[in-house]
Each structure stands twice: as structure tokens, then as C-alpha cells.
């Protein structure tokens, strides 16, 4: 192909992508065509120039490049790309945003080869970092990760976490393309078209930076050629573009964001009319993922009556699991000596990722790693996972399989005080669609649950304790997700506990027994799904239920138990013991007593119920 023909092909494909973005949004009566039109030339050259390597006949080919639309609202452009590549047809393009269509308002994995959902801004680039890490350190395949970003989302802190981590890990297989179209939803962005300031920031973080006119296809091609020559760092292309490019009624005008064009037929004529160009994408070179040697082994176990912190059991179990399974990887938020994921790092350094104090990037990297089939476990203090909650929420939409371990939960951590005490974590993770929430009370439970989570689909949260608890579960007793343990039988009152409060519940039951009150104690280590059958049987047999948890009363164990009993016609009274006042610093036993969730508080509540 000679130079003139190639340039014209780029331009024509760019116009087709614009036209199809307008058509899709017009058919839906909603969408973001102007945000799509600004980046059309950037994507046209990426496709037609052979830079994006996709085997369209095998979209799961491990050697395929990855295209992440961090600016997920530009989905009309993304779907127009899929049409140009022959992955979808024009009929499907016209179903954009319709009920049941794979072409949702923002991309999701319902439509291959989409890796993740990217509707919440500031998430695509952090996830792209995770995929690039997988390619560099795990798969060891020379695929590239191309990430289209919006300039508005450059205000998100998560973008700068990603930019810093990509530079630190020297991810030369990652390219961020910033569509600098100047206009956000309501006004101009902070930097407008000041590409020099964008460039200075990227270079200060250690990226190779390129600034271009994002509508000059020759300059775009030169930039992509430059990308391929950079081998020691990630590259950021900052492209000056115009929102709504090519249509005078919307080009570079405020107030046009997120709206279909008023006169789509006229706009299509202005863009040169409909086209039906097909792109023969360059196929990747054949490649096989790198395989790690697996030493084998078995899970650790502890003797009954030992005192062991569940966070230590997590570290030891995860390390053993890493020896049993070569696909298990670990990430930590620079507290690995507290979560004990450092044990995994010492044994499997090639599969450990230090994410430093950047919880959004940690969760995003885990999402990226699981895109490539790896089995990530990410750990930090449970309280700090709240920083990354939007990433967890979006991970469920992405159909991601994540295992998040949060240690140092509840007032039982003691002197560090309320800033470190996760007291809303059970509630927040229970609210995630399809999630699993576990709170083991001892080390043997923890080890078995860690192993089961490796094959658990969806988002899983494992709540871990700072302090030691008594091992009550025999090593040979089966522990299952959705199960529970009945530690004491009785018919006067049922006490349902989890985590740190299990020891307190047992102590309370022993005190009550001396008073003639026969309490049944249930260790509800699986909060979602909860063992509803055991809970209902206890309610029926005992006539009264006490739930006790080191958590706020909203959304935790107590409400999980109430949900299990919601359809019970003769539901008995359920008394929820939980942390109800803002705690301060103090010794763990003092704080448990202050909250009324120690053995004395549980016994007092049981006496009242038994007397009533």
C-alpha cells in the first residue's frame, strides 16, 4: 500500500467510526457520540495500521493484545471498532443500549473480547496495569495493552496510582492514549489543551511521553511506531482532539456531552455518509503462556486449643496453596508483615506483587491478573479496602473472580483506634452482587476456606483477626463455604457469633450453663452464604436468638441472620449485639466489654431473653 492510499484509508476508517458512533447513539436515543468522535482517528490508525494484534477467529488467544476503554462512555466508538473488525455486524450495532443486547451503555465482558467493565472513570488504566503485569511477569507473552483514556478522568487519583505503578514496574508493554478533547461533562477540564503540562507530568512519573495532534493520522502513526521502539518504560500519548470532531453542530462545543445528535442524518452526510470498511487485523505471533513449577504439598493445620491468629493462618495457608497450585498469585498493600502474605512472597517471589499503599491499584491489578486466568488473593487491613470499593463494585460487573483478605477487623484490634478498625466491611461486601463473605474464628477454618476460595467464582471477602483465637475446629473436620459449626447444643437461647466473638460466646454459654440456662452456640463463619438451615433450626428449637459481632449493627451478621429467618412464620425474637458507639483506643478486652460484645454482655442479653 503506498503512503497516500494508507493515509486515506486511515481517514476513511476514522470517518466510518464516527458515523457508526452517531448511528448507534441515534438508534438508542442516548449515548456519548461526541466523546467517541474525538478519539476515532486514534483508533482507526491503531486498527488499520496493524498495531492492535487480535486473532478475531480466536478472541481468547493468549497472545492477543488487549484494548481497554478506560473512557468507557465512548462505547459507541468501541462497538464501531468491533464492527469494523468483523466481530459484530451492523444489525447488532443497532441494538446498542437495548434490553438484552450485548452492547450495553458502557462496555462489559458480555461482548468479547472485552476484558472488563469500564463505566466508572479512572478504572481502565489501573486494570490495564494489572494485565500488563501479567504479560510481563507471569504469562511472559509479548502482548501489548493499549488503553484509551479520557482527559477528564485524569483528575482521578486512581489514574495516578496506575501511572506510578506502571513506571515502577517498567511496563513497556503498556500504552496509555489520552484523548485530550478539552471538554468534560459540564465544563472544560483543569488542563484544557495544555499538552505540555500533561507531558511534564507523565515524564515526571517516569513514562515516555508523546504529544500529537489527535486528528493528524500521519502523526498518530509516527507515535505508534515510536511506542514500539520503547523497551524500558510505559508510553503515554497525549493527543489533542476535538469533541464531536467533524460535525459543526457539536464540534468543540460545551453542553453536548452524553447526548445523541439532534440531526443525525445531516451529521452523517457531513461526515461523508455511511461506509462499510472491514479491517483485517494483524494476528499475533503464536505463543504459549509461561508455566511455573509446582512443588506440591498440603495445607497447614493446628492442634485444637492452640491460640493462633487467623491472619497468620491466612499467610501460611496461602503459601501452601501457592505450592499446590501454580496459578495462585498474591498482592498486598505494603502491610505484608501484618497480613502475613510476606510468607507467600518469601516462598513464591515470582508470583507476589507489592502494590504499596495504593489499594485502588491493588484491587485493579488483581482484576487485571484474573483477566489472564491467574488466581489472585489481595490483602490489606480490612478498613482500607473501603478506598477501593468502587473497583470491587465494578469487578462484579466485570464478572471478575477476586479474593480479598482484610485483616485487623473490628474493635478487637485494640490500641490503634477507630481509624484502623473495619466496622462496616461485612455490610459493604455483603452488598456486592454474587459475593462471598467469610469470617473464620480459628486457624483451621481459615486454611480450609482459603483453599476453597481459589475455585470460588465472583468476589470473595475473607475477614481476618489481629489477635489470637482458640483453635476449636479439628484439622480433619470439613469446613465449607455456606456452612457453620455448632459448638454447644442447647434449647434455651441460640447465640450466633463469628470471628473474635466466638470465644466470647462460648465463655458466655459456660457461665449461663451454671445458671441453668442452656445456650446453643453457633459459629457462623460463613456469613454470605449463611447456613440458613442451621439458623432456622436454632430459632425453632430455642425460641430466641442472639447475634454477636465485632461490627456495626447495620448490614452485618445480625442482618444476615434476620434475612435467613425473614420467611419464618413464627420467627422468634432476635437480639443483635454489635458495636453501637464510636470506639476509641484501648485494650481489646476493654473495647469488647465497652461495646457489650464480650462474654459478660452476651450472658446478660441471654438472661434477659430467657427471662422474657
Give residue-wise pLDDT tens across range 103-143: 999 999 999 999 999 999 999 999 999 999 999 999 999 99
Neighbouring residues of 369: CB distance < 8 A, sequence distance ≥ 6? 130, 131, 133, 134, 138, 329, 331, 353, 376
Q: Look at residue 1 in the predicted model and tell me its pLDDT.
A: 45
| Catalytic status, residue 359 | yes
Distance (Å, whole) CA 252 – CA 245 = 7
Closest CA to 178 of 74, 24, 66: 74
Per-residue pLDDT band for 4 (boundaries 50, 70, 90) equals low
Rounded mean pLDDT, 548-566: 98
Confidence (pLDDT) at 3: 55
pLDDT for res 287 = 87
CA dist 23 and 26 (Å) reads 5
Of the residues 359, 533, 589, 600, only one is catalytic, namely 359
SS (H, E, C) 429-492: HHCCCCCEEECCCCHHHHHHHHHHHCCCCCEEEEECCCCEEECCCCCCCCCCCCCCEEEECCCC
Give the three cell numbers for residue 184.
468534560
- Output phi, psi for 586, to 5 deg: 170, 175
Q: Does 68 have pLDDT greater than 60? A: yes
95-104, 555-564, 565-574: the lowest-pLDDT one: 565-574
* Cis? peptide before 113, omega within 30° of 0: yes
Q: How far apart are CA 529 and CA 441, in angstroms?
A: 16
Note the pTM of the prediction, 2 decimals.
0.97
Supply the pLDDT for residue 588: 98
Average pLDDT of 410-429? 97
Q: What's the whole-number mean pLDDT along residues 531-555?
A: 97
Integer Cα distance of 124 and 98 in angstroms: 24
Q: Residue 533 and residue 540: Cα distance in Å, rounded?
A: 11
Geometric angle at alpha carbon 176, from 13 and 373, rounded to 5°: 100
DSSP state of 213: E
Q: Rounded to whole angstroms, how far apart are CA atoms 287 and 279? A: 23
Q: What are the start-end ranges of the H helices in 230-332?
A: 264-270, 310-324
Strand ranges (E), 1-140: 66-69
Could you please report the per-residue DSSP string of 119-139? -STT-HHHHHHHHHHIIIIII
Q: Which pLDDT value is given to residue 571?
A: 87
Residue range 292-301: average pLDDT? 86
Amino acid at each position: 500500500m503506498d503512503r497516500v492510499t494508507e493515509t486515506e484509508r486511515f481517514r476513511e476508517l476514522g470517518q466510518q467510526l464516527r458515523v457508526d458512533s452517531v448511528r448507534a447513539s441515534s438508534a438508542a436515543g442516548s449515548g456519548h457520540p461526541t466523546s467517541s468522535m474525538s478519539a476515532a482517528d486514534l483508533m482507526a490508525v491503531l486498527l488499520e495500521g496493524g498495531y492492535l494484534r487480535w486473532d478475531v477467529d480466536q478472541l481468547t488467544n493468549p497472545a492477543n493484545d488487549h484494548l481497554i476503554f478506560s473512557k468507557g462512555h465512548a462505547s459507541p466508538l468501541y462497538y464501531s471498532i468491533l464492527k469494523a473488525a468483523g466481530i459484530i455486524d451492523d444489525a447488532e450495532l443497532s441494538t446498542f443500549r437495548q434490553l438484552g443486547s450485548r452492547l450495553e451503555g458502557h462496555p462489559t465482558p458480555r461482548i468479547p473480547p472485552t476484558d472488563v467493565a469500564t463505566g466508572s472513570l479512572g478504572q481502565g488504566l489501573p486494570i490495564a496495569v494489572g494485565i500488563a503485569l501479567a504479560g510481563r511477569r507471569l504469562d511472559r507473552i509479548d502482548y501489548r495493552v493499549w488503553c484509551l483514556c479520557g482527559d477528564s478522568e485524569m483528575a482521578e487519583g486512581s489514574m495516578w496510582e496506575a501511572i506510578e505503578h506502571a513506571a515502577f514496574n517498567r511496563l513497556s508493554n503498556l500504552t496509555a492514549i489520552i484523548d485530550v478533547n478539552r471538554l468534560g461533562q459540564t465544563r472544560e477540564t483543569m488542563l484544557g489543551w495544555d499538552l505540555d503540562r500533561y507531558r511534564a507530568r507523565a515524564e515526571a512519573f517516569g513514562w515516555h511521553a508523546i504529544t500529537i495532534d489527535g486528528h493528524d493520522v500521519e502523526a498518530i502513526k509516527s507515535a505508534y511506531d515510536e511506542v514500539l521502539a520503547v523497551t524500558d518504560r510505559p508510553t503515554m500519548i497525549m493527543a489533542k482532539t476535538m469533541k464531536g470532531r467533524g460535525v459543526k453542530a457539536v464540534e468543540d462545543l460545551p453542553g453536548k456531552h452524553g447526548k445523541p445528535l439532534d440531526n443525525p442524518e445531516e451529521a452523517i452526510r457531513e461526515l461523508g455518509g455511511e461506509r462499510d470498511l472491514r479491517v483485517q487485523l494483524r494476528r499475533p505471533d503464536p505463543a504459549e503462556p509461561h508455566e511455573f513449577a509446582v512443588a506440591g504439598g498440603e495445607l497447614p493445620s493446628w492442634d485444637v486449643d492452640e491460640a493462633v491468629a487467623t491472619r497468620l493462618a491466612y499467610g501460611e495457608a496461602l503459601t501452601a496453596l501457592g505450592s499446590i497450585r501454580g496459578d495462585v498469585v498474591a498482592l498486598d498493600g505494603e502491610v505484608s508483615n501484618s497480613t502475613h502474605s510476606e510468607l507467600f512472597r518469601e516462598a513464591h517471589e515470582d508470583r507476589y506483587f507489592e502494590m504499596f499503599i495504593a489499594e485502588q491499584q491493588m484491587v485493579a491489578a488483581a482484576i487485571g491478573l484474573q483477566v489472564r486466568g491467574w488466581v489472585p488473593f489481595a490483602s490489606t487491613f480490612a478498613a482500607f479496602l473501603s478506598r477501593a470499593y468502587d473497583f470491587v463494585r465494578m469487578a462484579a460487573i466485570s464478572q471478575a473472580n477476586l479474593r480479598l483478605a482484610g485483616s485487623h477487623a473490628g474493635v478487637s484490634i485494640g490500641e490503634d483506634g477507630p481509624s484502623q478498625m473495619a466496622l462496616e466491611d461485612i455490610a459493604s461486601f455483603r452488598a456486592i452482587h454474587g459475593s462471598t463473605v467469610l469470617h473464620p474464628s480459628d486457624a483451621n477454618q481459615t486454611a480450609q476456606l482459603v483453599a476453597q476460595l481459589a475455585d470460588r467464582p465472583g468476589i470473595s471477602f475473607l475477614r481476618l483477626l489481629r489477635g489470637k483465637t482458640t483453635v476449636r475446629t479439628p484439622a480433619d473436620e470439613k469446613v465449607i463455604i455456606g456452612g457453620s459449626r455448632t459448638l454447644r447444643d442447647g434449647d434455651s437461647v441460640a447465640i450466633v457469633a463469628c470471628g473474635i466473638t466466638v470465644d466470647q460466646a462460648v465463655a458466655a454459654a459456660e457461665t449461663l450453663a451454671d445458671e441453668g440456662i442452656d445456650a446453643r452456640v453457633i459459629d457462623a463463619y460463613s456469613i454470605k452464604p449463611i447456613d440458613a438451615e442451621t439458623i432456622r433450626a436454632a430459632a425453632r428449637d430455642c425460641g430466641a436468638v442472639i447475634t454477636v459481632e465485632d461490627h456495626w449493627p447495620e448490614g452485618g451478621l445480625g442482618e444476615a441472620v434476620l434475612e435467613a429467618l425473614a420467611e419464618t412464620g413464627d420467627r422468634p425474637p432476635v437480639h443483635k449485639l454489635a458495636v453501637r458507639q464510636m470506639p476509641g483506643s484501648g485494650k481489646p478486652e476493654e473495647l469488647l466489654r465497652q461495646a457489650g460484645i464480650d462474654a459478660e454482655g452476651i450472658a446478660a442479653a441471654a438472661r434477659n431473653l430467657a427471662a422474657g
